């Protein structure tokens, strides 16, 4: 294929200020920047979908954490998929669909070694969601960290979110006896049971989590997949069976709080029940990738999996999408479509 003519500039979203508590639009800046021509070994990608994820909120703080902080005045990187529009790298042709980590910009110039070519037969955006880090997080968390076995009962918080909606579906497809999800609105709750195959779901804003969980899973649970923290984790510790497991994957309830969080007051129950609470990051589980792609890719092709997503159109609305995701306005994976 012929090389396309690169535009002189493209838009980028920069971090303009570090938020305290909830981020506001003024913390971000939309900037026009030159598009770099590829040097030897590099490619230029025109991004088509950007991922906005809860972990990005943590990177907006200037603290040492598992991911380095975003720098003030620099682009907010993140997962993205797009197509090659210029290539000076062997094995990458114009038009190839790729996955890479330079999101929050329209055009990315990068070493080809930092991009992964993806299967053109599958929807491009699925590599940011169900077949990407989101799906692998759910898969590894449920199976490796949570040691889920067929016949067990699973509770997932943030179940209408990108990871949560996969956890619940994977558990059902793998033979769970019961899958319960919590979410933040009646519409999401309805979607969980009517479209995603959850056995039960509840709106955590409608009453105490422990009471609603006890109604949904009166005989208790074996695995709790935590995307929320706080009251949810405490309720789950109370409901877990002997030798139950809690997968600590997210604490979105705390990310924007300026109050000190409350720890689970019933944690001493973990002794007698021999519970295991284990934190996870997907980066520890890349070895599971081939098995994950085979099994989940198969479910996706067979139509057994609902790859829920909320797409916000327009690069200029990336911040709105990010803030909306933090507030829970999405169901499933929240994506920004750059074209639009």
Residues that bind a second copy (CB under 8 A): 65-66, 229, 233-234, 248-251, 254, 260-281, 284
Quickly list H helices, 55-103.
55-59
Environment class of 8 (CB within 10 Å of its CB; exposed 0-12, middle 13-18, buried 19+): exposed
Give min distance, CB of 226 to a second copy, in A. 9
Give Cα 12 to chain centroid, integer Å: 22
Question: Given the complex with a second copy, which of 284 and 313 has the nearer CB atom?
Answer: 284
CB of 60 to a second copy, least distance (A): 15
3-state secondary structure of 269: helix
DSSP 332: B
Toward a second copy, which CB reaches closer, 82 or 250?
Answer: 250
Q: Which of 223/338 has CB closer to a second copy?
A: 223
Q: How far is the CB of 208 from a second copy (least distance, A)?
A: 15
Q: Which phi and psi angles does 259 have, rounded to 5°?
A: -85, 150
Least spacing, CB of residue 274 vs a second copy, in Å: 5
> Cβ distance 38 to 88 under 8 Å?
yes
Q: Output 4 or 147, the one with its CB closest to a second copy.
A: 147
The span from the CA of 322 to the CA of 315, in Å, is 12
Cα dihedral across residues 92, 97, 100, 103: positive or negative: positive
Minimum CB distance to a second copy smaller for 117 or for 273: 273
> Which C-beta is closer to a second copy: that of 201 or that of 228?
228
Residue 259 CB, nearest distance to a second copy (Å)? 10
Q: Taking the complex as a whole, how short is the minimal distance between the CB of residue 52 and a second copy, in angstroms?
A: 19
Retrieve residue 43's tokens. 């490619």
**CA separation for the pair 136, 183 (Å, rounded):** 21
Cα 207–Cα 213–Cα 219 angle in degrees, nearest 5:
150
Cα angle, residue 260 at apex, residues 259 and 261 outer, rounded to 5° = 105
Q: How far is the CB of 24 from a second copy (least distance, A)?
A: 23
Determine how many CB atoms are found less than 10 A away from the CB of residue 163: 29
Q: Nearest Cα to 327, choosing from 75, 90, 22, 122? A: 22
- With H, G, I as helix, E, B as strand and everything else as coil, classify residue 250: coil
Minimal distance in Å, beta carbon 284 to a second copy? 6
Query: d(Cα 95, Cα 317) in Å, to the nearest integer?
Result: 25
With respect to a second copy, which residue has the nearer C-beta, 118 or 277?
277
Closest CB to a second copy among residues 89, 240 = 240
């Amino acid at each position: 294929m012929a090389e396309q003519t690169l535009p002189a500039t493209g838009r980028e979203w920069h971090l303009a200020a570090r938020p305290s508590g909830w981020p506001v639009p003024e913390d971000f800046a939309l900037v026009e920047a030159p598009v770099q021509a590829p040097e030897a070994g590099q490619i230029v990608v025109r991004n088509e979908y950007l991922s906005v994820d809860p972990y990005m909120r943590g990177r907006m703080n200037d603290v040492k954490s598992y991911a380095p902080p975003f720098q003030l005045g620099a682009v907010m990187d993140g997962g993205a998929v797009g197509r090659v529009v210029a290539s000076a790298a062997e094995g990458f042709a114009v038009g190839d669909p790729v996955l890479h980590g330079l999101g929050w910009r329209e055009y990315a110039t990068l070493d080809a070694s930092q991009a992964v070519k993806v299967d053109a037969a599958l929807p491009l955006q699925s590599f940011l969601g169900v077949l990407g880090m989101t799906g692998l997080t759910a898969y590894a968390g449920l199976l490796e960290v949570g040691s889920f076995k067929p016949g067990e009962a699973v509770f997932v918080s943030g179940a209408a979110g990108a990871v949560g909606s996969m956890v619940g579906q994977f558990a059902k497809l793998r033979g769970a006896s019961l899958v319960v999800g919590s979410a933040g609105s009646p519409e999401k709750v309805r979607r969980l049971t009517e479209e995603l195959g959850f056995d039960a779901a509840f709106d955590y804003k409608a009453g105490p989590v422990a009471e609603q969980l006890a109604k949904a899973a009166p005989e208790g649970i074996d695995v709790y997949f935590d995307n929320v923290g706080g009251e949810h984790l405490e309720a789950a510790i109370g409901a877990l069976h002997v030798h139950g497991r809690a997968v600590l994957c997210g604490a979105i309830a705390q990310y924007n709080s300026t109050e000190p969080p409350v720890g689970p007051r019933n944690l001493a129950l973990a002794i007698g029940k021999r519970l295991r609470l284990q934190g996870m990051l997907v980066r520890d589980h890349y070895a599971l990738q081939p098995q994950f792609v085979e099994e989940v890719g198969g479910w996706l092709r067979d139509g057994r999996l609902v790859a829920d997503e909320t797409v916000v159109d327009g690069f200029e609305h990336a911040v709105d999408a990010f803030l909306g995701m933090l507030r829970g306005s999405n169901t499933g994976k929240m994506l920004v479509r750059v074209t639009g």
